[in-house]
Structures are given as C-alpha cells and as structure tokens.
C-alpha cells in the first residue's frame, strides 16, 4: 500500500464529501465525511494527491475533450454516466432555468437537471482551486467509471451493471479487491454508516484513491493526453 501513502480519494455523498485514505499504522482504510471542499483540503494538507469526482477545468464554450474521451474510454452503457460539464459562465446561476437559458446563450446547448444538481459542488471546488495554490498542486479530477474501466482492462471496458445494483456493487468490489484486498475493502464498506454515505459512494471514493495512487506514482493516464488547461490554468483532464 506504499503508493497510497498521503493520497486521498473523494466522492460526493449525502452530507457533503466522503474521503478515504490508507492508514499505514493501523493497516486499514480510514474515512471521514466533510461538509465542504475547503474543510476537506484543510484536513489533508499533507496529501500528495487528492483525487475527486468533480469536473475541474471548465470550458468557456463547447464541450470538454475530457468528457468526450472519457465516454469513449468507458464505452457501452456506463458512458452515459459522464454528464456534460457546464461552461464557466453559468457557475453562479441560481436556478436550473437560469442555468439552461444562459448555457444556451453562451454555448447553444441547454443544461439538464442532472448536470444542474452538481453545479453547486462544481462551484465549490472551482472557488477553492482559484484561491488556493497548494490545493491546485494536489487536487486532480477523476471519474469513477473511468477508473473502474481502467481496473477492468482499459479502453472500452466499462462495467455493464449500474453501480447501485447488487451485480454492479459486486463487480466493483471484485476489481477493488484485486488492488487493495477484499478484506480491507469490505472492512471499509462496513465502517461507513448509511447516514454518512451509500455503498456506491464508498466504492467510488476507493476507485478515486486507486487513481490517486497512480497519479502519485507517475503512472496514471489522463483524458485527454497531454493535459489541456482551461482559461484559468486549471487542468481540464480526467485522470485514471
């Protein structure tokens, strides 16, 4: 587990963000739920990599190459789980209608309900990264379905079953068990209370941690490659 030292995997959960990491002294995974991105980063200032399931680099107009390439990488049914990322100009929209109208005016495309639901979370991380140079050094965007496809063999090997189904959970546990050991994975799952995060959120955070370890070790891939920064200098790439 050496490569995961000082790495953190993060996924959105009911009450905010669930972070998971490996504690070497205890030889076990630890987790904690954070209400917001800033509190999470402050708690993990020593982290080399914080891998989070959230769009980071945003386009001024048009879709991101990162999302297009991620859908191709995952392939099949799970490609649709990679939602279109909003353009930067609508981050402060107060309602779905306002977001959709402004998005159409800027970009020619509307803005769906699923994408609007995560807009406040995108804004939260964007504001943090714009203001915090240390966070910019360690925070990287991942997408769990890209990470699971990579764990499953790579290009076009996205998982068939939805993550909230029994078969989907089993498939994801099996892949993570190859990387971390089944006992460690299941111990973490059992340690997270339902009111903190759903099982699929825990498994997604572990997939993020797997990608974080690869980033720290210098062997991760990125979509696209090479990485293209957005207009503010943030990397517009999904790592795996």
CATH of the domain at 6: 3.30.420
Say yes or no: 64 and 112 in one domain.
Answer: no
Say yes or no: 33 and 144 in one domain.
Answer: yes
Judge whether 239 lies within some domain.
no
Judge whether 128 lies within some domain.
yes
* pLDDT tens digits for range 132-187: 999 999 999 999 999 999 999 999 999 999 999 999 999 999 999 999 999 999 99
Domain end among 99, 117, 135: 117
Spatial distance between the Cα atoms of 147 and 124, rounded to a whole number of angstroms: 23
Domain end among 117, 139, 163: 117
* pLDDT tens digits for range 104-119: 999 888 888 888 889 9
Residue 120 banded pLDDT, cuts 50, 70, 90: very high
pLDDT attached to residue 116:
87
Mean pLDDT is lowest, of 73-87, 168-182, 205-219, for 73-87
Spatial distance between the Cα atoms of 54 and 140, rounded to a whole number of angstroms: 9
Judge whether 228 lies within some domain.
no
Say yes or no: 150 and 63 in one domain.
Answer: yes
Query: Tokens 């190459």 appear where?
Result: 65
Judge whether 231 lies within some domain.
no
* pLDDT tens digits for range 6-65: 999 999 998 899 999 999 999 999 999 999 999 999 999 999 999 999 999 999 999 999
Say yes or no: 59 and 144 in one domain.
Answer: yes
Q: Computed from CA positions of residues 51, 55, 58, 61, in that sequence, does the dihedral angle turn out positive or negative?
A: positive
Judge whether 125 lies within some domain.
yes
Q: Do 12 and 53 contact (CB within 8 A), yes or no? A: yes
Spatial distance between the Cα atoms of 60 and 90, rounded to a whole number of angstroms: 10
Say yes or no: 68 and 142 in one domain.
Answer: yes
Say yes or no: 72 and 99 in one domain.
Answer: no
Q: Do 172 and 148 contact (CB within 8 A), yes or no? A: yes
Judge whether 19 lies within some domain.
yes
pTM higher than 0.75, yes or no? yes
Q: What is the mean pLDDT of residues 61-76?
A: 96
Say yes or no: 76 and 142 in one domain.
Answer: yes
Is the model's pLDDT at 3 over the cut of 90? no
Judge whether 197 lies within some domain.
yes
Say yes or no: 103 and 123 in one domain.
Answer: no
Say yes or no: 164 and 55 in one domain.
Answer: yes
Judge whether 237 lies within some domain.
no
Give the domain range for residue 99.
84-117
Say yes or no: 53 and 135 in one domain.
Answer: yes
Say yes or no: 88 and 148 in one domain.
Answer: no
Cβ neighbors of 200 (< 8 A, separation 6 or more) are 163, 164, 168, 169, 172
Spatial distance between the Cα atoms of 52 and 50, rounded to a whole number of angstroms: 6
pLDDT attached to residue 139:
98
Query: Tokens 């078969």 appear where?
Result: 167
Rg (the chain; Cα; Å): 17
Say yes or no: 21 and 51 in one domain.
Answer: yes
Domain total of the chain:
2
Q: What is the mean pLDDT of residues 196-209?
A: 98
């Amino acid at each position: 587990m050496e490569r995961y030292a000082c790495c953190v995997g993060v996924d959105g959960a009911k009450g905010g963000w669930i972070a998971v990491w490996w504690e070497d002294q205890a030889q076990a995974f630890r987790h904690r739920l954070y209400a917001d991105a800033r509190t999470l980063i402050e708690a993990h200032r020593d982290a080399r990599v914080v891998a989070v399931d959230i769009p980071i680099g945003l386009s001024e107009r048009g879709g991101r190459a990162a999302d297009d390439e991620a859908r191709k990488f995952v392939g099949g049914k799970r490609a649709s789980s990679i939602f279109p990322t909003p353009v930067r100009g609508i981050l402060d929209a107060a309602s779905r209608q306002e977001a959709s109208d402004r998005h159409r005016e800027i970009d020619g495309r509307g803005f769906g309900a699923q994408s609007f639901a995560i807009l406040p979370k995108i804004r939260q991380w964007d504001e943090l990264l714009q203001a915090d140079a240390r966070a910019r050094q360690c925070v990287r965007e991942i997408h769990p379905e890209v990470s699971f496809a990579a764990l499953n063999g790579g290009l076009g090997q996205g998982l068939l079953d939805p993550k909230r189904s029994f078969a989907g959970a089993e498939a994801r546990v099996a892949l993570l068990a190859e990387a971390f050991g089944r006992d460690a994975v299941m111990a973490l799952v059992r340690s997270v209370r339902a009111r903190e995060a759903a099982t699929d959120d825990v498994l997604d955070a572990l997939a993020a941690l797997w990608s974080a370890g690869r980033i720290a070790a210098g062997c991760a891939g990125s979509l696209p490659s090479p990485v293209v920064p957005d207009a503010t200098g943030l990397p517009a790439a999904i790592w795996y």
